[in-house]
């Protein structure tokens, strides 16, 4: 993690833009075409390996980040002590907990808990109850992923993206 942060700072030093605009922003957000002109207010649902890594990267890039997870132990296990954002313990599918975690002020909600059903419920709450427009939701099952994409959600499928990455790498090696 320290190596990533150092490289983001290096990029920022070489360019006149902050690291999140100088190539340091995760590729997934760039692919969405989302332009974040000022620091974004990001609510990350799920503090496992993916959520904590993403939250730390975005906080280091200068964004205002809050991480919500129902399991207090996940913060100690996955989120570095030097995390400059906020952590909030509570049940992710509770509208009042989401409100207290700051969903109404969030410009982006990233939902990456390990539980797919929780992710889908939180995505629906974020859109239908809180009118959040920018939502990224982690869904691995192909059928469900397709349904949520068709409903207009930005869907992250770590399994599919890893498989595609492996496919590109194998193809790049050629048929030696």
CATH number at residue 99: 3.40.50.720
| Residue 36 confidence class, pLDDT cut points 50, 70, 90 | low
Q: What's the number of domains the chain is made of?
A: 1
* Predicted local distance difference test score (pLDDT) of residue 82: 93
In a domain, 11, yes or no: no
Model pLDDT for residues 38-49, shown as the tens digit of each residue: 689 999 999 999
For residue 25, the model assigns a pLDDT of 41
Averaged over 64-83, what is the pLDDT? 96
Q: Give domain status of residue 6, yes or no.
A: no
In this predicted structure, what is the pLDDT of residue 39? Answer: 83
Give the residue carrying structure tokens 């469900």.
144
What whole-number percentage of the chain has pLDDT above 70?
A: 77
SS3 169: helix
Rounded CA gap, 8 and 102, in Å?
27
Q: Residue with structure tokens 């002020």?
A: 105
Q: Is the residue at 165 inside a domain?
A: yes
Tell me the C-alpha distance between 172 and 25, whole Å. 25
Is position 17 within any domain? Answer: no
Residue 120's domain comprises 26-173
pLDDT in tens, 91-143: 999 999 999 999 999 999 999 999 999 999 999 999 999 999 999 999 988 88
Q: Is residue 4 part of a domain?
A: no
Flag whether 16 is in a domain: no
């Amino acid at each position: 993690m320290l190596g990533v942060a150092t490289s983001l700072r290096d990029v920022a030093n070489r360019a006149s833009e902050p690291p999140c605009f100088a190539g340091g922003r995760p590729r997934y957000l760039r692919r969405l075409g989302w332009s974040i002109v000022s620091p974004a207010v990001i609510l990350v649902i799920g503090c496992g390996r993916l959520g904590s890594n993403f939250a730390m990267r975005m906080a280091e890039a200068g964004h205002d980040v809050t991480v919500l997870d129902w399991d207090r132990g996940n913060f100690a296990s996955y989120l570095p002590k030097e995390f400059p954002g906020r952590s909030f313990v509570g049940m992710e599918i509770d509208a009042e907990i989401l409100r207290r975690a700051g969903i109404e002020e969030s410009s982006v909600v990233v939902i990456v808990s390990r539980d797919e059903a929780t992710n889908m419920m939180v995505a629906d709450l974020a859109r239908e109850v809180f009118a959040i427009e920018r939502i990224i939701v982690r869904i691995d099952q192909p059928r469900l992923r397709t349904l949520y994409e068709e409903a207009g959600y930005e869907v992250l499928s770590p399994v599919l993206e890893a498989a595609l990455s492996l496919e590109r790498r194998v193809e790049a090696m050629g048929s030696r």
